[in-house]
Structure 1
């Protein structure tokens, strides 16, 4: 069974080169989250992650896998986001974590809980595919920190709000997935993602150092706490992503420069929390 999956996985990784990524944080956003996490893994967790991932890969190289396989695993599409009631700016698991057919637990928070549980059972339950569970968990921990992945139901997390990102036609969701990050890389880091990652890591150790322990901590000794992350996300969506934006808005420097710190913070929190979750799972 495991050998068969490894063959399928190699095929999927090859197809990733053909089918470009169009959803999630975007390729660079997920790479940033997983690079931050990789650097914060304990030795034990790092060894287990290396064992589970396809040979020659690290978390960052496989962090967008879950986006690329939606055509191959269509049941997974509903696991990338949460739709909440318009303008309430609150999240409740029982109310909101369901797919379009109303099946409970099928949202990004439910997926994080599910794949965390699967990984916690490593070594005791051989019915789970732990390689797939790890790659899904790494990706979904990124998604749940992108504010518009916990957005309003009517506009599908900003996907149906058409705007201009400077002169380029875009939808609001994609601006948060990719455009803010790409513009920051071009303007401040000479299009070098490694420099962008270094800048965020410096903020984690300096600017946000007093907050990091709080980011890592879950209530009641839980292994992971996606309800906290989702509640933060919808608040950020209301306060920053949606604020001042309507169909046809032109988003330029005022929007970009005021929202970039929020993007940086959520990328940092996603990476720190992914590492903390994996350290607890494998520690």
Structure 2
């Protein structure tokens, strides 16, 4: 074998190893947000009625009619991450981007109707997609699409930085050096690293059947109230825990001062929000698949 061939093969091997290493490093950073959403779906499935579980399975059989072969839709766990997956096709799904959040300034009074023109925000779309899902006169593929948005957005609204904001796109513009990957922003920490630790460290597992008393304590409310809860957590815990100053006294630095102690203190909060999302998701799914028309609660301020 000639020296030129050996060098060529060596170059190809190095390139392949570099690509594999890049994929290995990149996947966890992208996957933990997916892990959190899939966990909320697991919690919901453990708490829905048997007939609701069967109705979900029937809708999922229409996956091919959605027309997204690169974004699987074979389970409720897939449905919980599908809205993030399809956003990669911006030409087709870009209009849904604003549906994933409804941020409100943490240093101003909370207004449940602001930043949601035409229902184009996470709380508005939770209500809209539950009504679509409940309407049996609509084609199954339309209802299946509504199912995916419903379960995903219930997860989104329970993450504090999808609701609270300090002129930084829900923490996306605040860099922190916490963790093994430098340069993660505050939003990513709460969406991924923290959620992963909260789920894997939970004893007992977050994924279980909750009894009636537990569901009454952690469930209830409507999407607007869930958004207010997240906004209040952002105001009272997330931002104060990431900056060593009064967060409403002026501008914040670009780099957050999030510590290991701050992460540990946040784990119970993250665990509770994941449980609440799953239990409330189960209740909304049971309502949507219950016989008869869906009772739409009066909008609250």
Give me the TM-score of the superposition, normalised by structure 2: 0.72
| 1:258 pairs with one of 260, 265, 272 | 265
Residue 196 of structure 2 corresponds to residue 199 of structure 1: no
Whole-Å separation in 2 of the counterparts to 1:78 and 1:23: 20
CA offsets, 1:127-185, max 9 Å, x none? 97011000110100100001101021611111111111145221000000001123456
| 1:212 pairs with one of 215, 219, 224 | 215
| 1:226 pairs with one of 216, 223, 228 | 223
- In structure 2, stretches of 5+ residues that fail to align are 1-25, 64-72, 244-253, 291-301
| 2:83 pairs with one of 48, 63, 66 | 66
How far has the Cα of 1:70 moved from its partner? 1.1
- In structure 1, stretches of 5+ residues that fail to align are 1-18, 98-102, 189-195, 219-224
CA offsets, 1:14-53, max 9 Å, x none? xxxxx97988981111011000001111111111101111
Instruction: State the number of aligned residues.
Output: 241
Query: Residues 45-84 of structure 1: matches in 2 within 5 Å?
Result: 45-54=52-61, 57-72=74-89, 73-84=93-104
Q: Return closer, same or farther for 1:252/1:68 CA change in 2, 3 Å cut-off.
A: same
What is residue 113 of structure 1 aligned with on the other side? 127
Q: RMSD between aligned alpha carbons? A: 2.8
SS at match of 1:62: helix
What is residue 14 of structure 1 aligned with on the other side? none
What is residue 125 of structure 1 aligned with on the other side? 138
| 2:234 pairs with one of 232, 237, 241 | 237
Query: Residues 84-163 of structure 1: matches in 2 within 5 Å?
Result: 84-88=104-108, 90-97=109-116, 103-122=117-136, 124-126=137-139, 129-152=142-165, 154-163=167-176
Whole-Å separation in 2 of the counterparts to 1:253 and 1:153: 22
Whichever of the two has the greater Rg, that structure is 2
